[in-house]
Each structure stands twice: as structure tokens, then as C-alpha cells.
Amino acid sequence: MVDIAAVSLSNGAIAFVNLRKDQVVFSVRQKLTAECLAFSSEAPRMATGDAKGNVLLWDLESKRILYKF
């Protein structure tokens, strides 16, 4: 069972929540609300997309944006 869920908030934050403990583990923030999230199965990476068509590739270990498309 997966214990962590990512939740996109309207202020641009993406919170990673431990569902068993009901705690935010960490969060990252982008300018616009993430409309979609996708995760890599091979590396700690996440891609997000917003309503304006921006795509961001995140490194989840450093909690930084690697690329903007």
C-alpha cells in the first residue's frame, strides 16, 4: 500500500501527505495550480502541468525544478 499522496492546491503548492499519519511530509510550489501530476517509476521525478500549458519537471530529492517546457 502506498502511504504518500500528492495533492495540488489552488495556491500553486503541491503537498506530499503521509496518509497513515495524516501529516504533510514536504511540499513544493509553482506559480500556477498544477492541473496534472505524473511520477517516474525509475527516479524521484515528477512532472506537473498547469492550465496555461506549462510543463515542469521536478527533482523530488532536491525539491527543485529541473526543466520548464
| C-alpha span between 45 and 23 (Å, rounded) | 21
| Angle, CA 17 vertex, CA 12 and CA 22 arms, to 5° | 130
Q: Which domains are present in the chain?
A: 4-68 (2.40.10)
pLDDT at 2 over 80: no
In this prediction, residue 1 carries a pLDDT of 53
pLDDT digit string, tens, across residues 4-56: 999 999 999 999 999 999 999 999 999 999 999 999 999 999 999 999 999 99
Number of H helices, E strands in the chain: 0, 7
Contacts by residues 25-30 (CB-CB < 8 Å, ≥ 24 positions apart) = 26/63, 28/58, 28/63, 30/56, 30/65
Global pTM value: 0.90
